[in-house]
Amino acid sequence: MPHPRTARPAADPEDDCSPEELAELRAELQSRLDHLRRMRAEGARERGDLT
């Protein structure tokens, strides 16, 4: 199952962002990582993997 949010374009490395924007981006990244971990764990359970 794909992540429910669409991908963002790559950020411009020259573009600095505010602390609020950085916190928002970190929260989104954490959400995506959590989603990926849940999907991998679910797939492992379905396959019977115990690792």
Q: Where does 1-51 have alpha helices with state H? A: 19-47
pLDDT tens across the length of the chain (51 residues): 566 666 667 767 667 788 899 899 999 999 999 999 999 999 888 888 765
Give dist(CA 42, CA 20) in Å, integer. 33
Q: Which domain holds residue 42?
A: 17-51
pLDDT at 33: 96
**40 lies in some domain:** yes
**42 lies in some domain:** yes
**8 lies in some domain:** no
pTM assigned to the model: 0.58
**23 lies in some domain:** yes
**38 lies in some domain:** yes
**22 lies in some domain:** yes
**3 lies in some domain:** no
Q: How many domains does the chain have?
A: 1
